[in-house]
Amino acid sequence: MSGILKILPCFHTGGVEQSTLLIVNYMAEKGLKTFVASSGGILEKKLHPNVGHITLPLDSKNPIKIICNAIKLKKIIFQHNIKVIHVGSRAPAWSAYLAAKITGIGFVTTYHGAYGQNCLKWYYNRVMALGRPVVVASKYMEEHVAKFYPKTKCLVIPSGIDTDFFTNNEEIEEESKKLKLSWKLPNDGKVVLLLGRFTRIKGHEFLLRSMACFKTQKAPLVVFVGDSKNTKLINELKLKADQINVRLLVYEDVADIRPFYNAANVVIVPTTKPEAFGRVTVEAMSMGKIVIGNNLGASSEIINDSTWIFNSSSIESLANIIKAALELSPQQAKAIGQKNRERAVALYSVSKLVEGHLHIYNSFL
């Protein structure tokens, strides 16, 4: 049986890895021969039993290792009768491109990020535009790729999520109640949530600065949920919150984020750099939440309502929109959340993601 090989630098918990996990597990359930090659990670444990994982140092940018990986991938292609190789990151993409050229199999890329550009980076990034086809997660990314590589033909396939998972149930309601009790909120207390890796581009500090625009007695509780890797930034954010008198709670390495979504009145996505898609945005919408994003990247495309889009260069713009969201009645907030849930299910469910990829793979198989 012919097979499909998905390639990643590593297999941890980022958006690219989560999308890959959804796709390969679904294909395995349908009986397709599927493999993932990466340097490894915690998501290996969640792979379907029929998905093979091949461990290679694909997270390396060392030119020698890139060539060595290409040679190893060539052997894997012949060993497992691989007909299409699909990659979503630049360093392993060069290895995969060389291996695909040598063996004559299909080479597909997903152009995941709005990478920085200069003369050297233009060439380094170029491999992501050599896929046939080049998959992008949004119209924004289609325009971005066309700007730097005009002859590239892109196929827009939004990065879907499991909307059946990201929904409320009694267990999640109970867990969110426990969270709120532990937060000791006043009766009319509001919660603003930012979920994402603790890195400066996610806009944690920008959100804190916007909170300074609130009167202390009416300021919402700010909750950050992310990883535990960047302790320096986490400590800086806590100090900044103290300095501007913002109540901040930080949670690291949370196993199930759904109770946090459920407990929040509004979810903020204040990234300082354009995002190709925005998984948190879609997850929060699927959970029936009001989501506020900025005018960078794909946020406005996903949210599709200018009411909840702020000017990325204006702290006051974000503060004003947060205030407007928190002043809504429970009925109004619920109606907006329900509309968001319907949009997420219709456009960004895992079935849409998988259908798009299966169409590509079947053309090779």
Which superfamily does CATH assign the domain made up of 170-347 to?
Glycogen Phosphorylase B; (3.40.50.2000)
Cα–Cα distance for residue pair 43/144, rounded to 1 Å: 30
**Count of positions (residues) in the chain:** 365
Domain with CATH 3.40.50.2000 in the chain: 3-160+349-364, 170-347
Q: Report the pLDDT value the prediction gives residue 347, as an integer from 0 to 100.
A: 94
Which superfamily does CATH assign the domain made up of 3-160+349-364 to?
Glycogen Phosphorylase B; (3.40.50.2000)
Q: Report the pLDDT value the prediction gives residue 228, as an integer from 0 to 100.
A: 87
At 81, the amino acid letter reads N
Q: What is the pLDDT along the chain (365 residues), one digit of tens a residue?
A: 789 999 999 998 777 888 899 899 989 988 889 999 999 998 999 999 999 999 999 988 899 999 999 999 999 999 999 999 999 988 899 999 999 999 999 999 999 887 777 778 888 889 999 999 999 999 999 999 999 999 898 999 998 889 999 999 999 999 999 999 999 998 889 999 999 999 999 999 999 999 988 876 678 999 999 998 899 999 999 999 999 989 999 999 998 999 999 999 999 999 999 988 989 999 999 999 999 999 999 999 999 999 999 999 999 999 999 999 999 999 999 999 999 999 999 999 988 888 899 999 988 87
DSSP for 94-146, written as a single string: HHHHHHHHHHT-EEEEE--S----SHHHHHHHHGGG-SSSEEESSHHHHHHHH
Provide the token pair at 81. Answer: 């009768």
Q: For residues 43 and 13, is the Cβ–Cβ distance under 8 A?
A: yes
Can you give the pTM of this predicted structure?
0.87
Q: Report the pLDDT value the prediction gives residue 177, as an integer from 0 to 100.
A: 95
Peptide bond into 186 cis (omega under 30): no
The helix or strand, by DSSP H or E, that contains position 148, with its residue range, turns out to be helix 139-148
The helix or strand, by DSSP H or E, that contains position 155, with its residue range, turns out to be strand 154-156
Question: Three-class SS of residue 361?
Answer: helix
Q: Report the pLDDT value the prediction gives residue 55, as an integer from 0 to 100.
A: 95
Q: Report the pLDDT value the prediction gives residue 217, as an integer from 0 to 100.
A: 61
The CA-based dihedral angle spanning residues 179, 180, 182, 186, taken in that order and rounded to the nearest 10 degrees: 170
| Buried-exposed string 199-229: b where 16+ CB fall within 10 A, e elsewhere | eeebbbbbbbbbbbebeeeebbbbbbbbeee
